[in-house]
Amino acid sequence: MAQVLYMALPVPAKPRKAASSSSSSKPLKLPRRNRSTNISIPTVKGSGRRLLKPQKLNLEVSPHRAVSAVRLMRIELGGAFADLLNEKGKGSGENEMGYVQRTLGFRTRELSHHDLRLVTDIVGGTIRWRRYLDHLINSLCHDKDISSMEPLLLQILRIGFYEVVKLDMPPYAVVDENVELAKVALRPGAGNMVNGILRKLVALKENGTLPLPKVEGDDRAQARALATLHSHPVWMVRRWTKYLGQEEAIKLMIWNNSEPSFSLRANRASGFSRDDLVAQLNALKVPHKLSLYLDEFVRVKTGLQIVIHAGLLKKGLCSVQDESAGLVVSVVDPQPGETIVDGCAAPGGKTLYMASHLSGQGKVFAVDVNSGRLRILKETAKLHQVDGVITAIHADLRTLTDNEQLKSDKVLLDAPCSGLGVLSKRADLRWNRALKDMEELKKLQDELLDAASKLVKPGGVLVYSTCSIDPEENDDRVAAFLVRHPDFRIDPVDRYVPPDFVTSSGFFFSNPVKHSLDGSFAARLVRDS
């Protein structure tokens, strides 16, 4: 262990105070009674060597719980996305332990691959089930309001509750190790509190008497109960019950709380076929199924980390892309020789897939307001060998309406939206959306649609898409657009996607529950000549 720390440990930061809504937070410290080791790490700077401050290595704290607690702190307090953190954390145990060192003031033993998988599971699951877990914590903390609880203490409790209630981990291990984490990262009193609350939870679970609400009363009361039982915001439950009915709303929430599956797209532009991808997955012993709808796609339920570690993505041989996104590209139907504008292109999944259909002939103008993400798109385009047909434009689409050079055969507007169709993959997104956001998003979608329409040549095609399942962001936006732009008409998508995805209005729609894909929408609109 000392050698591992010697090789990779960064220059340490001073232990920080635990973030808290109270100004009386105590500095994080390591109690003397814990078995820890001070390790001096020499580093080279220029031509001289210097001795860094001793590092605290605690061998009793569970590494996956320490890392999970710190990740959850970063997500909730720092605004980082859970899927981004999970992606960066894959295979990067030393990097994760660096965050623990800087946040908690000590390190644990080295993370194994099994530990990293547990971190991904616990972080994603704890975020998904946050409302449910907080209800249980509140019920067992009769004299405390968890809204004023120290953030780190709350995360430790959430982890423990999730492990007991949803992962069915051995109760003694959950209690002992979360207590140890609380004592080391906070203070002995915090550990005692965690011990008492977790033991109450274990007893209630074993007796089958968890304090959960019943779905009864008026519509509002039922929505609140369902929101707690299935861990979603109340406004989402009420909205889905309105549009889908209660039974379908419950099915949707169950889907959102399930472990997500992923799809891989073979990059045909680099000469890598789906057969080649299947051969690689077989060699890696990664379970997979062929897509029922798209020739380049393969579904992967488990083993994505193995694919990433094998370097298939870094080599540009394939990419992670949901089939629903691929079907939106099918609605665009890109053909060699065409010019296409992708109005909100980054991070670029659809851009790259459209470019691969052009066979080196034509042009895709990738427009986005985010320069950083656009830079990543350009780098990925080069890796995927489609950079010759992609031109990146850093701009707000709404400022390009008078640009005659961008008038194109087809325009894809994959608009900013609520993301209500991708909540199974974006576990944190449900807590980062509010009902008031919907009105702002609809206004933005209308403005972008108006701008995108001006870049369509006469006789050309405008495809409007979202990753939302909300009719107000989808059908309603198209209907309002057609009133403002009578020179456009609906082109039914039944020629481009399987009939099971075609709505009565002629739009594409993937239903997460029905199709086991991300929720997605696309309308194909033709401009009269």
CA distance 221 to 213: 10
Beta strands in 278-403 (DSSP E): 289-290, 297-300, 318-320, 339-342, 363-368, 390-394
CA distance 147 to 41: 40
Other C-beta atoms closer than 10 Å to the C-beta of 453 total 21
The reply to whether 346 sits in an annotated binding site is: yes
The reply to whether 414 sits in an annotated binding site is: yes
Extract the tokens encoding 307: 């694919």
CA distance 201 to 141: 11
CB 79 within 8 A of CB 33: no
CA distance 157 to 243: 35
The reply to whether 347 sits in an annotated binding site is: yes
Which residue is associated with the tokens 């709380």? 257
The reply to whether 498 sits in an annotated binding site is: no
Closest CA to 496 of 299, 320, 334, 268: 334
The reply to whether 345 sits in an annotated binding site is: yes
DSSP-based three-state secondary structure for 366: strand
State the catalytic residue, choosing from 141, 318, 417, 467: 467
Integer angstrom CA distances of residue 194 from 31, 138, 324, 371: 17, 13, 43, 45
The reply to whether 350 sits in an annotated binding site is: yes
467 catalytically annotated: yes
The reply to whether 475 sits in an annotated binding site is: no
The reply to whether 362 sits in an annotated binding site is: no
The reply to whether 348 sits in an annotated binding site is: yes
The reply to whether 344 sits in an annotated binding site is: yes
Other C-beta atoms closer than 10 Å to the C-beta of 79 total 9
Closest CA to 398 of 344, 473, 468, 361: 344
224: Cα separation from own chain's centroid:
25
Other C-beta atoms closer than 10 Å to the C-beta of 489 total 11
Q: Which residues are annotated as a binding site?
A: 344-350, 368, 396, 414
Active site members:
467
Q: Which residues are annotated as a binding site for S-adenosyl-L-methionine?
A: 344-350, 368, 396, 414
